[in-house]
Amino acid sequence: MTNAPVIVWFRNDLRLADHAALHAAVDSGRPVLPVYILDDTADRWAMGDASRWWLHHSLAALAQALTGVGSHLTLRRGDSVATITEIARKTGAAEIFTGGSADPGARQVNQEAVKALDGKLRQMRTTTLFHPDSVRTKTGAAYSVYTPFANACLALGGPKLPLPAPDKIPTADAPKSDRLEDWNLLPTKPDWAAGLRDTWTPGEAGAIARTEAFLAHGLTHYPDARDHPADDGTSMLSPHLHFGEISGVQLWHMAHRHQAGKGREMFIRELLWREFCANLLWNNPGLPDAPLRLEFERMPWRNDKPGRVAWQKGRTGVPIVDAGMRQLWQTGWMHNRVRMIVASFLVKHLMIPWQDGEAWFWDTLVDADLASNAGNWQWVAGCGADAAPYFRIFNPILQSRKFDADGDYIRHFVPELDRLGPRHIHAPWEAPAEALANAGVTLGKTYPNPIVDLAIGRARALEAYGQIRSRA
């Protein structure tokens, strides 16, 4: 059938620019049918609520962008392989173009789809800077340490230039589409998404706008400002990257259009850390569930439900930890420095398994990326590749005083401490009674006492680490 359409199966690449699968479909000269499938039959790593909120708005933006170039987006819900096979059969599609990813679930879907579609599936790279198999050691092994991995990526000379968005997409007759509103991706009652709406503009246009603003105004100050959570010092591009509203390739080349300097170098290194996590997941599909360092399977974790709930709700009594967890709940995002602090507090001071924290982040982050989430939690826990040593235990009070010296970040997200001065806001249990009374703070009532003595928690963690090392 010379008139047979081709399908573009969108995944975590919800954009028109630098989209290899879309570009190949348009270049085929055939009518193009863009499709997105919501698969709720996935394993426990099915999309969390915050990500579903983002997905709704990202798909709405993609549909609008496709309309602008003469096309339309078909939405279907169901098992990925069965649904794409049905659409291909009913439309008589000649080929199906789709992206690839390091996610083991997505890789399994692609493997099954290759068989179900009788060889018509064309897999393209749409989510990473380089194909994971192209970044290898001299012996052909996968990298397990970040710095040599990053240097190997840099030695490749950078990714190819991004592909342009199509000016026009030849339209194919589309099968019946679901209504996005019928997917119920948005919260109803209670409506917990007000902070998300105030913080984010999902979609390709929003991603480009945030990137341009950051590169123009934030790149120069990035090396220092990125560590201070009260400042607008990070790019906040992680959810746009996760949903593929902008590609790492685009960011790489947009950053290189700016003057060389420490800010640009550090930003590129952060992109490469994200690439490193994807590479780890590609080569270690069990990364989200099991420690890479096998001795951590013997770690004597604690089943501390009250502690876990206090951490989730931002009620630990440690202000910087509570501020981070409340920022996460309100905005679906948390500052990177604070992510390390709250993660270290959970796995080291509370001795709660890193998988519990990983699962909570997965459900509450708008940038919940399987590779980055698993890789970073294992890094903090000390059990992953190139991990921070387990005995490196963040002191949340010292971190707070160093990176939020005036307490502005804490005041914003823990308003019950607003009237405490910089001297006492980081550790209110150390404040004299008069200072607490003047600030209207009653420990145990208006704000909780710490759920763990930090010195005792640290000693307990070091003892546990010593136990697993002695058995190695």
The one catalytic residue in 200, 273, 333, 379 is 273
Asked if 9 is an active-site residue, the reply is no
Place of tokens 């420095």: 337
- In 111-201, DSSP assigns E strands to 121-125
Euclidean distance between CA atoms 273 and 258, whole angstroms: 20
Asked if 301 is an active-site residue, the reply is yes
The one catalytic residue in 301, 329, 416, 429 is 301
DSSP 218-246: TTTTHHHHTT-TTS--S---HHHHHTTSS
Q: Please name the helix (run of DSSP H) or strand (run of DSSP E) that holds residue 253, with its range, or none.
A: helix 248-256
CB 201 within 8 A of CB 243: no
Alpha-carbon Rg for the chain in angstroms:
24
The one catalytic residue in 204, 270, 275, 358 is 270
Name every residue whose Cβ is closer than 8 Å to that of residue 233 and which is 6 or more positions away in sequence. 218, 221, 222, 224, 225, 226, 227
The one catalytic residue in 333, 362, 377, 379 is 377
Determine the residue type at 463: E
317-341: string of b/e by CB count within 10 Å (b at 16+)? bbbbbbbbbbbbbbbbbbbbbbbbb
Q: Closest by alpha carbon to 288, among 390, 388, 372, 382?
A: 372
Determine the residue type at 371: A
3-state secondary structure of 259: coil
The one catalytic residue in 86, 336, 395, 429 is 336
Euclidean distance between CA atoms 365 and 285, whole angstroms: 21
Which pair of structure tokens corresponds to residue 123?
């897999």
The one catalytic residue in 45, 354, 360, 362 is 354
Asked if 354 is an active-site residue, the reply is yes
Q: How many CB atoms lie within 10 A of CB 370?
A: 23
Name every residue whose Cβ is closer than 8 Å to that of residue 310 and which is 6 or more positions away in sequence. 316, 317, 448, 451
Asked if 336 is an active-site residue, the reply is yes
Asked if 362 is an active-site residue, the reply is no
Q: Catalogue the active-site residues.
A: 270, 273, 301, 336, 354, 377
